[in-house]
Amino acid sequence: MTNFTEVASRFFRLALDKKFKNGCNLNSAILFDAICHLPSDEMTVENANKKLFEMYGFKFNSATLSRNNTTLMELGLIKLVESSDDRRYKEIKLVAPKGVQVKKLMYSDGERVWKYK
């Protein structure tokens, strides 16, 4: 079973392979955790921020949310797509295989491998 230290370490190493000289920040890992916790039909940027509040008790402001979504895109974990209903909103898609692999690392049998509360 993986613990939080292992997940954070793998996120850090994943980022080192890209342009991030100092690895991936914890905000990006936490946002990805919230995204993974959403049902696939509710994966939007707005819903991810709401889930972040549900899970951790805080939300990101729009600049932080945008920056961390960009980081996750550059890491090849997610892709943002304009909503078919309203172009102002973005839907989140996990990018296979990398995004799916990292989600499996964080979740075992549908349960998060570490507990926050």
SS3 assignment, position 60: coil
* pLDDT of 115 strictly over 60: no
Nearest-angstrom CA–CA distance, 73 and 31: 12
Q: What is the pTM of this model?
A: 0.82
- The length of the chain is 117
* Token couple for 74: 């550059």
| Main-chain phi, psi angles of 7, to 5 degrees | -60, -50
CATH number of 4-108: 1.10.10.10
The model's pLDDT over 15-58, given as tens digits with 9 standing for 90+, comes to 776 677 777 788 888 899 899 889 988 999 999 999 999 988 99
Write down the domain spans for the chain.
4-108
To 5 degrees, how large is the angle CA 49–CA 26–CA 95? 65
Q: How far apart are CA 83 and CA 86, in angstroms?
A: 5
